């Protein structure tokens, strides 16, 4: 099939996807590309909730996996040190999609949705021990640093999460939201490679000016190499905030869903829908592709290029850009009409072509 190849860092070109005699896929050069069928590296969702059966939020990983174009999901803190063994033992081996985990600094993870409101809920030594037991699974440390969650603990969960992350040599994934703690104090604790999720939330205390430029503490964090992650969720994505930031030159480094049981039926649905929304906010397609593939793959330290020098496809997501007049809702209740939407068509996993079934919402 003729495809538009979107190769982050190398630009766009025309290509032809072919099946070799051994059944694996190859990408050859072509003279012309179709307008709407695209291929790029395999997608990664850097923020999802897939601890099905343990937390009330979890969705089965394969519901948000290869059928939706996603090769790897990173569970964002559903498990803490006390519940990580169960994720590794029961959820990861049963899933076809790749799973990584940001371990929550709160010991029970999201079994209790005020997971760090009490000093007894954080155990630094036990969290480090759990990370060592599951080095291949754990990609970093998750801290939800907003008022409704930390209660009187203020900055302590983040300070302790940072202590663990630096000791383990891993990044932090920090949920931002309403104060306290103050966003300036949160952002000043983040280092290069740490990730701010819910970066375009529309709540009071967000780290953006009205013109879309970052407030001083966010500007300093971005200068240090801190990354912006979308983490759409049920309450954490504003079309207005994202559109202004993209226009001012601050697109997200990664597009993720924060998909869980209470938003998979809307407004989140899946990663393709979240990518569609970032295109609606003015993000160029090539940047959007990089932010669901190359960049989150780097954060997760996933090995391997998607294409070999000889044109063998190691991993890829094939998707269609379809014209539409469908309306989409952000997490603030604002609705906007899209002109084009992203529809996953297939994945290539270890060289093998795997079609995506057409699902609801697509």
Least distance from Zn ion to the Cβ atom of residue 271, Å: 14
Nearer to Zn ion, 258 or 270 (CB): 258
Least distance from Zn ion to the Cβ atom of residue 231, Å: 6
Least distance from Zn ion to the Cβ atom of residue 106, Å: 13
* Cα–Cα nearest to 225, from 299, 328, 144: 299
Least distance from Zn ion to the Cβ atom of residue 232, Å: 9
Nearer to Zn ion, 166 or 262 (CB): 262
Q: Which residue is nearest to Zn ion (CB)?
A: 258
How far apart CA 156 and CA 326 sit, in angstroms, is 44
Which residues are within 8 A (CB) of 279 and not within 5 positions of it... i.e. 6 or more apart? 285, 288, 338, 340, 342
Nearer to Zn ion, 25 or 158 (CB): 158
Least distance from Zn ion to the Cβ atom of residue 199, Å: 13
Nearer to Zn ion, 76 or 101 (CB): 76
Q: What is the DSSP letter of 356?
A: P
Least distance from Zn ion to the Cβ atom of residue 173, Å: 9
- Residue 255 host element (H or E): none
Q: Which residues bind Zn ion (CB under 5 A)?
A: 76, 258
Tell whether the torsion through CA atoms of 22, 30, 344 and 93 is positive or negative: positive
Nearer to Zn ion, 7 or 330 (CB): 330
How far apart CA 104 and CA 237 sit, in angstroms, is 22
Find the angle CA(9)-CA(66)-CA(316) to the nearest 5 degrees: 25
Long-range contacts, stretch 113-118, CB < 8 angstroms, 24+ apart:
113/149, 114/148, 114/149, 114/151, 115/77, 115/80, 115/144, 115/149, 116/143, 116/144, 116/149, 116/150, 116/153, 116/156, 116/157, 117/149, 117/150, 117/151, 117/152, 117/153, 118/151, 118/153
Left, alpha or beta for 11 (phi > 0: left; psi -120 to 50: alpha)?
left
Nearer to Zn ion, 33 or 110 (CB): 110
Least distance from Zn ion to the Cβ atom of residue 317, Å: 22
């Amino acid at each position: 099939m003729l495809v538009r190849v979107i190769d982050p860092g190398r630009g766009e070109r025309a290509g032809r996807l072919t099946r070799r005699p051994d059944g694996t896929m190859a990408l050859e050069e072509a003279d012309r590309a179709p307008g709407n069928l695209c291929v790029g590296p395999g997608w990664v969702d850097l923020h999802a909730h897939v601890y099905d059966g343990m937390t009330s939020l979890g969705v089965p990983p394969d519901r948000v996996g290869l059928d939706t174009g996603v090769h790897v999901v990173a569970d964002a803190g559903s498990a803490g040190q006390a519940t990580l063994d169960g994720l590794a033992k029961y959820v990861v081996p049963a899933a076809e999609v790749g799973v990584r985990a940001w371990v929550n600094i709160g010991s029970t993870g999201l079994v209790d949705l005020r997971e760090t409101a009490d000093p007894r809920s954080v155990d630094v030594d036990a969290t480090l021990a759990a990370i060592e037991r599951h080095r291949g699974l754990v990609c970093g440390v998750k801290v939800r640093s907003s008022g409704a969650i930390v209660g009187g603990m203020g900055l302590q969960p983040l300070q302790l999460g940072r202590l663990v992350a630096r000791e383990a040599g891993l990044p932090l994934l920090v949920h931002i939201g309403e104060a306290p703690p103050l966003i300036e104090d949160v952002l000043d604790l983040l280092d290069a490679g740490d990730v701010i999720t819910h970066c375009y939330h529309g709540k009071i205390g967000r780290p953006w000016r009205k013109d879309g430029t970052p407030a001083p503490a966010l500007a300093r964090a971005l200068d240090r190499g801190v990354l912006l992650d979308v983490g759409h969720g049920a309450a954490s994505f504003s079309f207005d905030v994202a559109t202004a930031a993209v226009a001012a030159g601050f697109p997200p480094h990664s597009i993720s869903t924060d998909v869980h049981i209470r938003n998979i039926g809307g407004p989140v649905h899946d990663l393709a829908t979240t990518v569609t929304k970032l295109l609606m906010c003015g993000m160029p397609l090539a940047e959007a592709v990089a932010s669901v593939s190359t960049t989150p793959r780097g954060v997760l330290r996933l090995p391997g290029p998607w294409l070999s020098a000889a044109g063998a496809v190691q991993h890829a997501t094939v998707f269609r850009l379809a014209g539409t007049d469908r309306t989409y809702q952000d997490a603030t209740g604002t609705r906007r009409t899209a002109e084009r939407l992203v529809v996953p068509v297939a994945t290539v996993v270890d060289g093998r072509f795997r079609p995506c079934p057409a699902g609801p919402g697509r």
